[in-house]
Structure 1
Amino acid sequence: MLILSRKPDESIVIGENIIVKVISVDRGSVKLGFEAPPNTLILRAELKEAIVFENKKASVDVTQDTLSTIGKHIKH
Protein backbone atom coordinates (compact mmCIF):
# COMPACT_ATOMS: atom_id res chain seq x y z
CA MET A 1 0.00 0.00 0.00
CA LEU A 2 1.27 3.43 -0.93
CA ILE A 3 0.58 6.11 1.69
CA LEU A 4 0.76 9.76 0.66
CA SER A 5 0.09 12.99 2.53
CA ARG A 6 -1.90 15.64 0.69
CA LYS A 7 -3.33 18.99 1.71
CA PRO A 8 -6.60 20.54 0.49
CA ASP A 9 -6.46 21.36 -3.24
CA GLU A 10 -3.57 18.93 -3.80
CA SER A 11 -4.03 15.91 -6.08
CA ILE A 12 -2.79 12.43 -6.82
CA VAL A 13 -2.68 11.02 -10.36
CA ILE A 14 -3.41 7.32 -10.91
CA GLY A 15 -2.33 5.94 -14.27
CA GLU A 16 -2.81 8.26 -17.21
CA ASN A 17 -6.29 9.59 -16.59
CA ILE A 18 -7.51 9.35 -13.00
CA ILE A 19 -7.06 12.28 -10.64
CA VAL A 20 -7.93 12.20 -6.94
CA LYS A 21 -8.11 15.66 -5.38
CA VAL A 22 -8.41 16.53 -1.69
CA ILE A 23 -11.35 18.91 -1.52
CA SER A 24 -11.39 19.52 2.23
CA VAL A 25 -10.35 18.12 5.60
CA ASP A 26 -12.69 18.74 8.52
CA ARG A 27 -12.76 17.13 11.99
CA GLY A 28 -11.28 13.81 10.92
CA SER A 29 -13.22 13.62 7.64
CA VAL A 30 -11.62 13.99 4.23
CA LYS A 31 -13.67 14.99 1.19
CA LEU A 32 -12.18 13.71 -2.08
CA GLY A 33 -12.99 14.55 -5.68
CA PHE A 34 -12.39 12.10 -8.54
CA GLU A 35 -11.80 12.85 -12.22
CA ALA A 36 -11.90 9.73 -14.37
CA PRO A 37 -13.16 8.58 -17.77
CA PRO A 38 -16.94 8.03 -17.86
CA ASN A 39 -16.54 4.25 -18.17
CA THR A 40 -14.54 4.06 -14.91
CA LEU A 41 -16.56 2.62 -12.04
CA ILE A 42 -15.87 4.39 -8.74
CA LEU A 43 -17.52 2.92 -5.63
CA ARG A 44 -17.15 3.27 -1.89
CA ALA A 45 -15.52 0.09 -0.53
CA GLU A 46 -18.51 -0.79 1.68
CA LEU A 47 -20.86 -0.56 -1.31
CA LYS A 48 -18.59 -2.81 -3.39
CA GLU A 49 -18.50 -5.35 -0.53
CA ALA A 50 -22.31 -5.26 -0.24
CA ILE A 51 -22.69 -5.89 -3.99
CA VAL A 52 -20.28 -8.84 -3.85
CA PHE A 53 -22.12 -10.26 -0.82
CA GLU A 54 -25.55 -9.92 -2.48
CA ASN A 55 -24.27 -11.49 -5.71
CA LYS A 56 -22.85 -14.47 -3.80
CA LYS A 57 -26.06 -14.81 -1.81
CA ALA A 58 -28.17 -14.71 -4.98
CA SER A 59 -26.04 -17.37 -6.68
CA VAL A 60 -26.39 -19.71 -3.67
CA ASP A 61 -30.16 -19.23 -3.54
CA VAL A 62 -30.62 -20.64 -7.05
CA THR A 63 -32.05 -24.16 -6.79
CA GLN A 64 -32.39 -26.88 -9.40
CA ASP A 65 -36.13 -26.15 -9.55
CA THR A 66 -35.41 -22.51 -10.33
CA LEU A 67 -33.00 -23.51 -13.10
CA SER A 68 -35.55 -25.94 -14.55
CA THR A 69 -38.24 -23.24 -14.55
CA ILE A 70 -35.93 -20.79 -16.29
CA GLY A 71 -34.90 -23.47 -18.79
CA LYS A 72 -38.55 -23.98 -19.83
CA HIS A 73 -38.75 -20.33 -20.88
CA ILE A 74 -35.58 -20.30 -22.97
CA LYS A 75 -36.12 -20.92 -26.67
CA HIS A 76 -33.58 -23.14 -28.39
Structure 2
Amino acid sequence: MLALSRKKNEALIINNNIEITILEIKGEQVKIGITAPKEVPIYRKEVYVQIQNENKASVDVESLDALKKFLV
Protein backbone atom coordinates (compact mmCIF):
# COMPACT_ATOMS: atom_id res chain seq x y z
CA MET A 1 0.00 0.00 0.00
CA LEU A 2 1.21 3.46 -0.86
CA ALA A 3 0.51 6.00 1.89
CA LEU A 4 0.58 9.69 0.97
CA SER A 5 -0.15 12.93 2.77
CA ARG A 6 -2.32 15.46 0.97
CA LYS A 7 -3.80 18.81 1.95
CA LYS A 8 -7.08 20.39 0.91
CA ASN A 9 -7.23 20.99 -2.87
CA GLU A 10 -4.25 18.70 -3.53
CA ALA A 11 -4.71 15.75 -5.85
CA LEU A 12 -3.37 12.38 -6.95
CA ILE A 13 -3.26 11.06 -10.50
CA ILE A 14 -3.66 7.32 -11.11
CA ASN A 15 -2.99 5.66 -14.47
CA ASN A 16 -2.96 9.01 -16.33
CA ASN A 17 -6.77 9.22 -16.35
CA ILE A 18 -8.02 9.11 -12.75
CA GLU A 19 -7.72 12.13 -10.49
CA ILE A 20 -8.47 12.06 -6.77
CA THR A 21 -8.75 15.46 -5.10
CA ILE A 22 -9.04 16.27 -1.40
CA LEU A 23 -12.07 18.57 -1.24
CA GLU A 24 -12.57 19.07 2.48
CA ILE A 25 -11.16 17.97 5.81
CA LYS A 26 -13.34 18.13 8.94
CA GLY A 27 -11.92 16.47 12.04
CA GLU A 28 -11.42 12.81 11.20
CA GLN A 29 -13.51 12.94 8.03
CA VAL A 30 -12.12 13.67 4.57
CA LYS A 31 -14.26 14.48 1.53
CA ILE A 32 -12.68 13.42 -1.75
CA GLY A 33 -13.60 14.00 -5.37
CA ILE A 34 -12.84 11.44 -8.06
CA THR A 35 -12.63 12.20 -11.76
CA ALA A 36 -12.42 9.10 -13.94
CA PRO A 37 -13.66 7.81 -17.28
CA LYS A 38 -17.29 6.62 -17.19
CA GLU A 39 -16.22 3.03 -17.88
CA VAL A 40 -14.21 2.92 -14.63
CA PRO A 41 -16.48 1.68 -11.83
CA ILE A 42 -16.01 3.42 -8.49
CA TYR A 43 -17.48 1.95 -5.29
CA ARG A 44 -17.13 2.52 -1.58
CA LYS A 45 -15.36 -0.57 -0.27
CA GLU A 46 -18.28 -1.77 1.86
CA VAL A 47 -20.57 -1.61 -1.19
CA TYR A 48 -18.01 -3.40 -3.36
CA VAL A 49 -17.65 -6.22 -0.80
CA GLN A 50 -21.44 -6.57 -0.61
CA ILE A 51 -21.72 -6.78 -4.42
CA GLN A 52 -18.98 -9.40 -4.55
CA ASN A 53 -20.66 -11.48 -1.82
CA GLU A 54 -24.03 -11.31 -3.58
CA ASN A 55 -22.44 -12.26 -6.91
CA LYS A 56 -20.70 -15.21 -5.27
CA ALA A 57 -23.93 -16.37 -3.63
CA SER A 58 -25.75 -16.05 -6.95
CA VAL A 59 -23.13 -18.11 -8.77
CA ASP A 60 -23.25 -20.75 -6.04
CA VAL A 61 -27.07 -21.02 -6.35
CA GLU A 62 -26.93 -21.05 -10.17
CA SER A 63 -24.26 -23.76 -10.11
CA LEU A 64 -26.32 -25.83 -7.69
CA ASP A 65 -29.44 -25.45 -9.86
CA ALA A 66 -27.49 -26.45 -12.97
CA LEU A 67 -26.10 -29.49 -11.15
CA LYS A 68 -29.61 -30.50 -10.03
CA LYS A 69 -30.88 -30.29 -13.62
CA PHE A 70 -27.93 -32.34 -14.84
CA LEU A 71 -28.56 -35.08 -12.29
CA VAL A 72 -32.33 -35.31 -12.89
Report the TM range for the smaller structure's normalisation: 0.7 to 0.9
Residue 34 of structure 1 aligns with an amino acid whose one-letter code is I
Query: What is the match of residue 73 of structure 1?
Result: none
CA RMSD of aligned residues (A): 1.8
**1: CA distance between counterparts of 2:49 and 2:55?**
10
- 1:40 maps to 40
Alpha-carbon distance in 2 for matches of 1:15, 1:60: 34
Q: Does 1:14 align with 2:11?
A: no
Unaligned runs of 5+ in 1: 69-76
Gaps of 5+ in 2: none
TM-score (norm 1): 0.79
Larger Rg: 1
Q: Write out the 4+ residue segments of structure 1 that deviate beyond 3 Å after TM superposition.
A: 63-68
